[in-house]
Amino acid sequence: MALDPKQVKSDLVLILDFGSQYTHLITRRIRSLSVFSLCLNGTSSLQSITDLNPSVVILSGGPHSVHTPDSPSFPDGFIQWAQSNAVPVLGICYGLQLLVHRLGGEVRVGNTQEYGRMEIHVENQSALFPAEKVGHNQVVWMSHGDEAVTLPDGFSVVARSQQGAVAAIENPSAKFYGLQYHPEVTHTPEGMETLKHFLFDVCGVAAGWTMEDVMEEEIKVINNTVGPEEHVICALSGGVDSTVAATIVHKAIGDRLHCVFVDNGLL
């Protein structure tokens, strides 16, 4: 079963996943704002990205270094596509470093690696932070060893860490932005406020998505797949995945669903 983004009642925020443990948390945070969000492997083809027609793309964090030969990256042509279609791009942690690296800036191993709770200072007025945040500190959660030291043309530093490292950047004319910390985690108290400001005030994303939309769309997919008369057998273990799947299928086709309980010894 696959949800068709074209049927969703909100803009799509696409997360390109580069291996961060928090990638799916970004998705959940955005969905909690009534905005539809999907994860896609960060190395997917450009066609896979453009077919989804996202309104915003977020580059996730990850455990990699841009200097490693096999480090993951977005496909060739992605930058040009985003610019020509005025699609805002936000890089988070590794995503920021990747954006800087691919656009011709310099990323190197940091003089001091930053892990855990840190404070950043918002230095300049920008699209990333409301005006009242300028000149103030924020507590954030960092997890990186590399740092951006030379920014690509058109970019400016918005915030720095207490160690003086780049913490937030932007190129508003190109609609490219970056956060070296993780706004999606609860350890960043103002992170959700930053995401909300970015999506609604900077990108103009339209909300309106709910979990009920998922149910409605999946029922349509099931009915189209199964047809009006066919029956379905479902192996049911009692776990969350199979139980939810069986419940949705039953809503779609009723008594034509036949569940077979699988005793895996865990109940």
Residue 184 is a catalytic residue: yes
Selected catalytic residue, list 93, 114, 144, 218: 93
pTM: 0.82
d(CA 247, CA 226): 15
- Binding residues for ATP are 237-243
Q: What does the pLDDT read at residue 5?
A: 52
Selected catalytic residue, list 114, 147, 170, 184: 184
Dump the DSSP string for the chain.
----GGG-SS-EEEEEE-S-TTHHHHHHHHHTTT-EEEEEETT--HHHHHHH--SEEEE---S--TTSTT---PPTTHHHHHHHTT--EEEETHHHHHHHHHTT-EEEEEEEEEEEEEEEEE-S--SSS-GGGTT-EEEEEEEEEEEEEEPPTT-EEEEEETTS-EEEEEETTTTEEEESS-TTSTTSTTHHHHHHIIIIIIS-------HHHHHHHHHHHHHHHHTTT--EEEEE-SSHHHHHHHHHHHHHHGGGEEEEE---S--
d(CA 45, CA 263): 41
pLDDT per residue, tens digit, the chain (267 aa), is: 445 555 545 699 999 999 999 999 999 999 999 999 999 999 999 999 999 999 999 999 999 999 988 999 999 999 999 999 999 999 999 999 999 999 999 998 866 667 778 999 999 888 888 888 888 999 999 888 888 999 999 999 999 998 888 999 999 999 999 999 999 999 999 999 999 999 999 999 998 888 777 788 889 899 999 999 999 999 999 889 999 999 999 999 999 999 999 988 776
Residue 234 is a catalytic residue: no
Ramachandran sector of residue 166 (left: φ over 0; alpha: ψ -120 to 50; beta: rest): beta
- Residue range(s) occupied by CATH 3.40.50.880 in the chain: 5-202
Positive or negative, the CA dihedral 207, 174, 166, 106 is: positive
- Binding residues are 237-243
Domain 5-202, CATH number (from 3.40.50.880, 3.90.850.10, 3.30.2350.10, 3.40.50.150)? 3.40.50.880
d(CA 62, CA 25): 13
Residues 6+ apart with CB under 8 A from 53: 5, 6, 12
Selected catalytic residue, list 64, 182, 203, 218: 182
Residue 182 is a catalytic residue: yes
